[in-house]
A and B are shown apart, each in its own frame.
Chain A
Amino acid sequence: MLRMLKKIMQQGMVTEDYFMSSVPARFRGRLEVSDQKCRDCVKCVESCPTGAIKLRKNKICVDHDACIFCGRCVDVCEKKILRHTLNYECAHLKGQLDKEAGEAVAKKIRSVLGRSLAIRHVDAGSCNACDFEMSALLNPVYDITQYGIEFVASPRHADMLMVTGVVTRNLRSALETVLQATPTPRLVMAVGACACSGKVFGDTYAQEGAVDKIVPVDIYVPGCPPRPQALLYGLLLALDRL
């Protein structure tokens, strides 16, 4: 008992604020395309394992929802046009929170959910990396409860569903049932490249596709997996608390 108290006292507080976070130099974040003219060698397009890179009118376009941040396109680009930045803040809003859909709906949802958000996790077919990063939000370092956000045990108690993984055939009905059980107003977040794009494992007999093919999605958080701060960024962005 004394040893336990000693350890707790010695350890002190380890919790970090979102804005305190630092990013290591080797981190592979959002891809940046320089203005230099591309040689159209399409090596980056061919090397991308998820087909996230397209060439449109000599301009490289990156679909960050499908990007798994593997760094292969950067390696093969001879003119060094592509570069991974340290920026992990790739989350973006759609659906009910989309600016173009009108601020009124978003404002109303935020006024109901904004200060305390209850989240239910739904694994729709993930590799568990996204799930582990969500669990990490509960550790003492990120301590997500400091933002008034908590994970709850049932969709009936939830304001938001965080869905990980490409929707598999075996989980489609579970995902649909969970959405029905979640009271409105509710938000749905697609977590990670599989959930956002459904392209990580191509298209096989066992998959139904990205989450937004099955249920409407309001927040997309790209990454493979998104680091905990990227998830936090997505949550704070959705609640307009940045």
Chain B
Amino acid sequence: MIKTKEVAASGLRAAANAISKGGKIPLHAMFANDERSINGNFCVYVLFSGAESGDFSMIKGWIADGQPLEFPSLTPLLPAAAWYEREIHDLFGITPVGHPDLRPLVLRDNWPQDCYPMRKDFDKNSKGKSEPQEESHPHVHGEGVFEVPVGPIHAGIIEPGHFCFSQAGENMIHVDPTLFFTHRGVEKSLEGLTATQAIFRVERTCGACSVSHALSFSQAVESLAPSEIPVRALYIRVLTAELERLYNHVGDIGNICAGIGFAVGTSQGARQKEMLMRFNEELTGGRFLRGLIVPGGVAFDIPGDLIRQASSVINALEKDFEELVEIVQESSGVQDRVRRTGILPRQAAAELSIVGPAARASGMDIDLRRDHPYAAYDQLSFKVPVRIHGDVEDRLLLRVAEVRESCSIIKQTVSALAETRGLIKIELEPAAPWASGIGWSESARGANFHWVMLDAKQKIYRCFIRSASYPNWPALAVAAPGNIIPDFPLINKSFELCYACLDR
């Protein structure tokens, strides 16, 4: 259930204060929409967890025609709002008044002033003139303090991001990440497409979260009109979502070993991930499980022999994986590097509203699969592991525990699929004009939200994508300082954030 409250944008902070109970209830997303052609307003939407479990609360703040394009910034109240507001400022030219740091976030050095690509009157084919702006970032001053700039092209096969480390000797004092290098304008590119056309772009927002994006988007579209998705399709969705979590977690555990230089763990993790990726390809024809989830259900069925094969793959993985965990846990070299490294305190995790394994490793007991069940998760029994130290070790061990849970979920799903027959896809009823809805799923990195509004012709008017990496990136800048710079890659890997998911 989503409860929506409409206010004038000037009252946004007061409304947010009331709904979040002074910042205690987490902020999930914040985005703007150009609704001038519908009601003459620009709107700013803010999504919170609801007061009661299973609920969401949404505030819609409108800025009427002729009013100044601004709203009181929520950042002083809710630090988690900082990046969302900078993004709104960049893409819509709406100013959050009182924001402490309004540097450009998404559009940078060569983007012209007073040109806002997400407004409806922006010409889709115009690229805007290049006008180099001055890049500025906060500097740390002090005797012997120096800066180490890294990226956007890194030494390994990694996505692009620029990090500026302020150092006192080996110790990091401050990290300033510059991201959004892979900003492709995905949200803008979806506008004007039907949901069936858009799904291909949506699931290509990010490779490692393909299923999660497709799932959130499909559920958002399905929420716009009454629809009952066939049970078999729901279980197939769970199966692929858990397979995605598995290959990510197993691969990430291997990658954390790579950050330590523990080659045996790296190789074993990479081999097990490869085994899972190959099974993905057998199951769906693609190693990233793409092309299966579509609005209305799933595009194709999975025959019984492949479902049975899923059981044997999981059984083989469980034994193999436990042996890897034993090796990792008994290596003192690994323990030395991971324990008390890159601590994210619970309070910071809560204030930044972070999600997923990183949040659960810092003591936050949250998981959309349990708290806001979707697909067939309410029919399955699983535990949500939580750890309290918030260091690299806890993020590693949390993934280990989640791998075990995922294996159990997949086994339950396999038995359920053996008993369900019938339809796998339905035709969706047309939605009311300008209807909007939210879809969500728990990806391997945490909560993934999609907000979709369709126009009168059933085409996408606006789609906002909030992946799990969005709230988690700022947390990295909290966890890293105080550690030595050679540990940064390890801390970064323990969060395992997507750049493409954030940048869009």
Query: Which residues of A line the B interface, CB within 8 A?
Result: 1, 3-4, 7-8, 11, 14, 24-28, 49-50, 68-72, 75, 84, 121-123, 125-136, 138-142, 151, 153-155, 165-166, 168-171, 174, 178, 200-207, 224-225, 227
Contact = CB atoms under 8 A, between A and B. Distances in A.
A205 B117 contact: yes
Contacts of B180: 170
Contact of B157 (A121, A168, A200): A121
B445 to A, nearest CB: 12
Contact of A4 (B157, B160, B264, B270): B264
A140 B271 contact: yes
A1 B153 CA distance: 37
Given A70-B290, A128-B498, A206-B185, 19 more contacts: A1-B330, A7-B264, A7-B268, A27-B281, A123-B153, A125-B182, A127-B182, A127-B205, A136-B270, A142-B274, A165-B184, A170-B108, A171-B152, A174-B181, A204-B189, A206-B107, A206-B117, A224-B290, A225-B288
Interface string B105-144: 0011011000001000010111110000000000000000
- The CB with the most chain A CB atoms within 10 A, among B182, B188, B197, B299, is that of B182
B185 A136 contact: no
Contact of A26 (B127, B206, B285): B285
Given A136-B274, A153-B155, A178-B153, A26 B207 contact: no
B283 interface: yes
Given A14-B271, A126-B159, A26 B182 contact: no
B500 A71 contact: no
Q: Is the interface of A mostly helix, strand, loop or mixed?
A: loop
B282 interface: yes
Interface of B: 107-108, 110-111, 117, 122, 124-128, 152-153, 155-160, 180-186, 188-189, 197, 200-201, 204-208, 210, 264, 267-268, 270-271, 273-274, 277-278, 281-288, 290-291, 299, 323-324, 326-327, 330-331, 498-500
Contacts, number: 186
Contact of B182 (A4, A75, A126, A151): A126
A24 B159 contact: no
Contact of B204 (A25, A154, A224): A224
A77 B287 CA distance: 25
B264 A204 contact: no
Contacts of B184: 125, 165-166, 168, 201, 204, 206-207
Given A7-B327, A205-B124, A227 B287 contact: yes
27 contacts: A3-B326, A3-B327, A7-B324, A7-B327, A24-B285, A26-B284, A27-B281, A28-B286, A49-B197, A49-B200, A70-B291, A126-B500, A127-B206, A131-B159, A135-B270, A136-B277, A138-B157, A139-B270, A141-B271, A141-B274, A142-B274, A202-B189, A205-B117, A206-B185, A207-B185, A224-B290, A225-B287
B153 A174 contact: yes
Contacts of A201: 184-186, 189, 201, 204
A11 B265 CA distance: 13
A132 B313 CA distance: 21
- The CB with the most chain A CB atoms within 10 A, among B117, B180, B288, is that of B288
